[in-house]
Amino acid sequence: MHIPALIELTEREEIPRSLILLTGNTNVGKSLYCRQFLVDRLNDGSECVYINCTSTEEQLLEWLDGIGVARTPGLHFINPYLRKQSGRGDSSAELSNVLTEIKHAMSKPLQSALGDEGPRRKSGDGHGLQDTEKKGLTLIVDSLNHLIALFGKAAVEAFITDIYFTSKMQQLSGICALTTPSLSKDELERLNQSIDALLEMAFKDDMDLRLRYMKMVMIRGMTLTPKWVDFELEEHGTIKFLKKESEFTCYVCKSVIHENPISYSGLYFHVNHLEVYKRLVGIYGLNLSELGFSSEVMDANFFFIDIVGLSDPSFSVSSQRQKIEVLNNLIMSCNAYNGEEKKIILPTGDGMVIGFVLNPENPLKLGIQLHQKLRSYNRGKGDRDKLKVRIGLSAGPVFSVNDIQNNQNFWGPGIIMARRIMDIGGEGHILLSEPLAKALLSLKDEYSPIINPIGEYSIKHGQTLTLYSAYSNDFGNPKSPERR
């Protein structure tokens, strides 16, 4: 299920089908979010029931026309106030009739008040319906306060409860807006029992009511870190979500970009750092001319990592960038990464190679610490939202070369071998070259239970490598990689 600003609110591309409660003060933007929710769901191919007491079907159609949304046969508009004014029975029965209509719509192809194909009968309460192919139903209620004013709290509470249980048995999702504070603590608690997720909107600054933000407070069954997302209301009645300036981090220097960032391949840079990045991923890799490394041949211990499956074209550029940034942040939070100042760091697009000049234990320690952090990060996420990696560890020489622009760079067998070893692995593997594994096994007894030989594997140019795999209960992958 997709909702407006889903990635910003949840760090996920998809959440389970849910009934969402949207709360906030008067005029904070709940109605506009509901309309944006409607547009997004229609664009996703979902059929929608839109319940609103303060507008007519024609007003909704004009708004859709104004923002360039084509009329679709997937919308059923209901104005309970106009129905009540028409004298169609007692109020409780009318709300029950709305529920009956929704269930009826789910039981057969939805009939819509919109669309240019076939006859259409106009009326203020949303009649004039025609059959369409059923694809699942989305309910938008804007707002519960108006329904309470018309039908009373008890009837509305029963209505939402019935909708909630219906959503568990059929393909129904949706959003209900509620202005707060308008219910007692007990009443709000009972309402929360009949929803799957809670969105909250608020004014960001009492002195400037143009500034607003919102957060996803909770989603049942999912681990979530709520964070505020800024937005503003645009003149044509839509919501524009704002990227916080502090959320732009330069991919090269890892510092916050305070001026306008420049984007390249889905990544963000300081203006003067983009060319640096392009040199880093050039034919020789990392430019180390300012890092104080010797120009002679030197030995280092290498950690090569990439994100499994990131090249899948079904992932958006934004999602790919987000996964890369999460990986970078997790690596930088590991003690093994921060414990040695002299490092070779080479971005590789969907991963990186890190060379530790001083300590041969650091590549393995970094792999173990990163896996432990990944287990915590991936907990509760869907398969597409999980961050999956593979890691290759090796030791060997690298040498200084000058690239076409006469900049000093490093390349050599140590980096190449770590890449070859990583390429053999799959999701969750931490694979080691034989020389590095034997060096660690002879260094400390604590490595004996976790570093295990897995046999010979063929790589490019007819070479055969004897590899080791590091794993235990909380890191690594105990299954040996497939031989290709």
Mean pLDDT value of segment 170-180: 92
The predicted pLDDT at position 253 comes to 64
Exposure of 386 in the CB half-sphere (CA atoms within 13 A): 16
The predicted pLDDT at position 284 comes to 33
The predicted pLDDT at position 295 comes to 47
The predicted pLDDT at position 108 comes to 56
The predicted pLDDT at position 441 comes to 94
- Of 65, 125, 68, the C-alpha closest to 94 is 125
Contact by Cβ (8 Å): 173, 139: yes
Task: Give the residue with greater pLDDT, 96 vs 82.
Answer: 82
- What pLDDT, in 10s, does the model give residues 393-402? 999 887 766 6
The predicted pLDDT at position 288 comes to 39
pTM: 0.50
The predicted pLDDT at position 293 comes to 46
Mean pLDDT, the chain, integer:
80
The predicted pLDDT at position 133 comes to 40
Task: Give the residue with greater pLDDT, 254 vs 212.
Answer: 212
The predicted pLDDT at position 460 comes to 74
The predicted pLDDT at position 256 comes to 73
Mean pLDDT value of segment 335-358: 82
**72: buried, middle or exposed (CB in 10 Å: 19+, 13-18, 0-12)?**
middle
The predicted pLDDT at position 297 comes to 60
- What pLDDT, in 10s, does the model give residues 95-151? 778 888 887 777 654 443 333 333 333 334 443 333 334 457 899 999 999 999 988
Residue 218 scores a pLDDT above 90: yes
Exposure of 371 in the CB half-sphere (CA atoms within 13 A): 20
Q: Give the chain's radius of gyration (CA, Å).
A: 28
**Local confidence band at 373 (pLDDT 50, 70, 90 cut-offs):** very high
Cα(59)–Cα(395) distance, integer angstroms: 69
Distance (Å) of CA 412 to CA 144, 392, 399: 66, 16, 6
The predicted pLDDT at position 117 comes to 34
Mean pLDDT value of segment 236-252: 68
The predicted pLDDT at position 433 comes to 94
**Local confidence band at 430 (pLDDT 50, 70, 90 cut-offs):** very high
Task: Give the residue with greater pLDDT, 410 vs 223.
Answer: 223
Residue 476 scores a pLDDT above 90: yes
**Local confidence band at 277 (pLDDT 50, 70, 90 cut-offs):** low
Residue 374 scores a pLDDT above 80: yes
Percent of the chain whose predicted confidence (pLDDT) is above 90:
38
Contacts of 97 (CB under 8 A, 6+ apart): 88, 89
- What pLDDT, in 10s, does the model give residues 9-60? 887 778 888 999 999 999 999 999 999 999 988 888 888 999 999 999 999 9
Task: Give the residue with greater pLDDT, 269 vs 147.
Answer: 147
The predicted pLDDT at position 262 comes to 66
Say which CATH topology domain 281-470 has: Alpha-Beta Plaits (3.30.70)
The predicted pLDDT at position 479 comes to 94
Residue 355 scores a pLDDT above 70: yes
Q: Mean pLDDT lowest for which of 75-89, 316-330, 371-385? A: 75-89
Cα(330)–Cα(347) distance, integer angstroms: 15
Q: For 375-411, give the DSSP string.
A: HHHHTT--GGGS--EEEEEEEEEEEEEE-TT--EEEE
Domains of the chain by residue range: 6-242, 281-470
- What pLDDT, in 10s, does the model give residues 154-169? 999 999 999 999 888 8
- For Cα atoms 224, 227, 228, give the angle at the middle one, nearest 5 degrees: 145
The predicted pLDDT at position 283 comes to 32
The predicted pLDDT at position 372 comes to 94
Residue 382 scores a pLDDT above 70: yes
In CATH terms, the superfamily for domain 6-242 is: P-loop containing nucleotide triphosphate hydrolases (3.40.50.300)
Beta bridge partners of 238: none
